[in-house]
Amino acid sequence: MTTPAPAATTARQAIITITGVNKWYNEFHVLKDINLEVGRGEKLVICGPSGSGKSTLIRCINRLEVHQQGRIVVDGIELTNDVKRIDQVRRETGMLFQNFNLFPHLTVLENLTLSPVWIRKMPLKEAQELAFHYLERVKIPDLAHKFPGQCSGGQQQRVAIARCLCMNPKIMLFDEPTSALDPEMIKEVLDVMIDLASSGMTMLCVTHEMGFARTVADRVVFMDSGEIVEENDPQTFFNHPKFDRTAAFLSQILNH
Amino acid sequence: MPQTWQPKPPTPSPSYSTGWLGWARKNLFSSPGNALLTLLSLAVLLATLPSMLRWGLWDATWLGDSRKVCDSAAQDGSAGACWVFIKVRLEVFLYGFYPEAQRWRVNFTLALLGLAALPILAPTLLRGTLRQTLFALAAALLMLATFGMPCAIFTACYLLLPLALPPLVRQRPFLELFAGRLAGVSAGLFLTALAATLLYFAAGQAGGGGAAGPIAVTGAILVVFLIFVGRLTASAWRWILLFTVYPLAGFFLLVGEVFGLPLVETHFWGGLFLTLVVAGTGMATALPIGILLALGRRSTLPVIKTLCVFFIEFVRGVPLVSVLFMASVMFPLFLPENVTFDKLLRALVGIAFFYAAYMAEVIRGGLQAIPKGQFEAAMALGWPYWKMMALIIMPQTLRLVIPGLANNVLSLLKDTTLVAVIGLLDLLGVAKASMADTEWLGFTKEAYIFAALVFWVFCFAISRYSVYLEKTYHTSQHYN
């Protein structure tokens, strides 16, 4: 099911290209002239204080938010108002949310099979096999017939990861996946994310887990007030930040 | 070396007085005020209940077939209820003026509805293909015994079709077999037309004459679903049949003029039967329209949103009686002279749209309660709008609004009595007409009480059913 990890080369083929993107909520300028390129198989961590526009940025990539200026191209498809293109992009990207957003009226297994069956037109049997394969991978096959409400937060988030994987996405977007979890559960979700990273998935993570950023990320992007302040490899980013704003942020979240 | 820590074992909860005495102490006599209220209630019951029971049961006249029995009983001094009146007029109460020889058609239509709806209403009762097949065969046998061969065959076909279709239509919809959407649609339309024509001629050859129409329409509907929808589960087929084939079958059965059934015009319809027709079609049409209106009102498309808001607010601003008057008196004035619609049909449409507006607001309330994340998760997985609404959002919404919808359904059932103002005689209308019968003057109490009891039985059943639904779905429902 998984493709071997491609060698981490410096000149990756870009899978997401964001050029000159601006976005406003009424008068409020959320994204200011964002330029970002993400390579195929790259792991990108986006961090920054709350309200810096990091969530908005990754939500623009699958068009949950609409950008007003600039271009976003995902795997060769430019995002416009064209519904077909949006659907194409969404089928190639999986997204994880802070609140898991599992469908509470369906069992875990149904959560996993519903989309492959109805969107990908996969036969139910095949979809169920796929679902069990990914439940195995996130280490909770015994929860298949439970309802989301009967699972812990960490389990729900792992189900959500499996649900995305069942759609066989090329890109995974993580919108603060561990922020709503108890500390004891954060690790089990991060372990799954690390496993996923090693399989060569392109990943964009908005997170405050700096440990995860250090070990997994190819690149860390720091955002503040709607701008990309700096981006660098994790080593340089954490040890020698270019800007005082970055250093201030890092000292805020690392020392307590 | 840290000590081993073990959580404390749970202890049983403290025992208070149990049994009926404990229950009474807790619920009836928990405080002086409560005890006083309990005694007061008992006094009221003692003062009213015996005389009511005496009038309605002990002293009532049950046997006999004419007014004389009741009159002589009254002269004896026992002034109980005269249920003979109800017994003699029962058929009219149930069927209105539907011709006596044709009343089996009403019975069969309602029985078929019950049989068609049972696997949908109580899915846990009939789980598995084997049980459903046995149920269909048993139902057919019952129909054979009650209504004869043609009805039994129709029942068996109707109930077995949803079981037979899924394995037959295992593949993707036919539509997808054609390259390109336009080719698919035109092929679909062509095949539908072809099937309809073939069925029409086949039925004509078989000598059915008037039967050709309904059979052709039924066949065409099935073909459309086969082409455009394809692979579906048995329960989905059951819903489709209930909303397409059943209404058609019901319509042709009740109205007649096909299959050699004589025509029974709608002004002969009445009594409980008419109440059920109006309430049933009202519920079945108001809910889907209500869902569409609720979605329309939340739409981002300004024209659709405005239209829905305007419609809902207009309907909520006028009484049902005025809608019915409009439908029966005003509406024909706007039509060309030679175009007429049946009065019952106009009332049905009026009631459906009236209740759709109310249901729309109930459903919209449910939609507001669905977290935004549900929509986002579905969209992020690539769900297009209508599929997302049908399979992810609406199932959650409808479960949330079961109590509100039950409210609407109950008031719809009771509001069917308002069709009396446009001259249709429902159960209450027939009851009132019977009171005016010169042969049976003076038995208004019995007629009203009977009508009220019948309404109560139906309403209570509906409200219990809504409780059952809530329980079924909330065991599997765990919002955080």
Domain with residue B350: its CATH number is: 1.10.3720.10
Q: Is the pLDDT of residue A198 over 50?
A: yes
In chain A, the percentage of residues whose pLDDT exceeds 90 is 78
Strand order across the A171-175 sheet: A93-96, A171-175, A202-206, A43-47, A219-224, A227-232
Q: Is A15 exposed, middle or buried (0-12, 13-18, 19+ CB in 10 A)?
A: buried
Which range among A34-38, B208-212, B319-323 shows the weakest confidence by mean pLDDT? B208-212
Q: How confident is the model at residue B196 (pLDDT cuts 50, 70, 90)?
A: low
Number of domains in chain B: 1
Average pLDDT, chain A: 90
CB–CB contacts below 8 A, A to B: 75
pLDDT beyond 70 at B181: no
Touching check for A102 and chain B: CB below 8 Å? yes
Set of chain B residues whose Cβ sits within 8 Å of the Cβ of A103: 374, 377-378, 392, 396
Instruction: State mean pLDDT over B246-271.
Output: 83
Q: Tell if the CB–CB gap between B391 and A147 is shorter than 8 Å.
A: no
* Lowest-pLDDT choice from A136-140, B24-28, B268-272, B394-398: B24-28
Q: Are strands A93-96 and A171-175 parallel, antiparallel or unpaired?
A: parallel
Residue of B nearest to A62 (CA): B380
Q: At A24, phi and psi to the nearest 5?
A: -125, 140
The tokens describing B252, both together, are 């042709």
With CA atoms as reference, the chain A residue closest to B173 would be A121
In a domain, B450, yes or no: yes
Q: What is the pLDDT of residues B425-460, one digit of tens each?
A: 999 999 988 888 888 888 888 899 999 999 999 999
| Percent of residues, chain B, with pLDDT higher than 90 | 38
pLDDT for B288: 94
How near does any CA of chain B get to the CA of A209, in Å? 22
Domain assignment of residue B127, yes or no: no
Rounded Cα distance, A62 and A72, in Å = 10
In A, which residues are within 8 Å of B374 by CB distance?
101, 103
Mean pLDDT of B202-219: 57
User: What residues of chain A lie within 8 A of the CB of B379, using their CB?
Assistant: 62, 64, 90
CA-nearest residue to B391 within chain A is A114
pLDDT category of residue B207 using cuts at 50, 70 and 90:
very low
Tell me whether residues B396 and A115 touch, CB distance under 8 A: no
* Residue B17 pLDDT > 80: no
Give B391's DSSP letter.
I
- B431 within some domain: yes
Six-digit token string for B12:
């049983």
Does residue A10 have a pLDDT over 50?
no
Say yes or no for a CB contact (<8 Å) between A94 and B381: yes
Pairwise CB contact (< 8 Å): B399 & A105: yes
* B216: in domain: no
Does residue A8 carry a pLDDT above 50? no
- pLDDT classification of A6: cutoffs 50, 70, 90: very low
Diameter of chain A by CA atoms? 55
Indicate if the pLDDT at residue B379 is higher than 60.
yes
pLDDT at B220 over 90: no
How do residues A47-93 score in pLDDT, each as one tens digit?
Answer: 999 889 999 999 999 999 999 999 999 999 999 988 889 999 998 99
pLDDT at A134 over 90: yes
pLDDT at A233 over 70: yes
Of the listed ranges A25-34, B133-142, B160-169, B206-215, the least confidently predicted one is B206-215
Bridge pairing between strands A93-96 and A77-78:
unpaired
Residues B458, B426: contact at Cβ < 8 Å?
no
- Give a yes or no: residue B282 inside a domain: yes
Q: Give the residue among B288, B266, B284 at the shortest CA–CA distance from B346.
A: B266
- A62/B396 touch (CB, cutoff 8 Å), yes or no: no
CA distance A135 to chain B (A): 18
Could you tell me which residue, A136 or B216, shows the higher pLDDT?
Answer: A136
B377, B382, B477 ranked by CB distance to A91: nearest: B382
Q: Is B421 exposed, middle or buried (0-12, 13-18, 19+ CB in 10 A)?
A: middle
Asked if residue A5 has pLDDT above 50, the reply is: no
Smallest Cα distance from A28 to chain B, Å: 22
pLDDT digits (tens, 9 = 90+) for B396-419: 999 999 999 999 999 999 999 999
Place of tokens 């209740």: B355
Query: What is the least distance, in Å, from the CA of A107 to any CA of chain B?
Result: 8
* ipTM rounded to 2 decimals: 0.92
Is residue B252 situated within a structural domain?
no
Among chain B residues, the shortest Cα distance to A106 is held by: B476
**What pLDDT is stored for residue B122 in this prediction?**
80
B276 domain-assigned: yes
Range of the domain at B300: 269-480
Q: Is residue B447 part of a domain?
A: yes
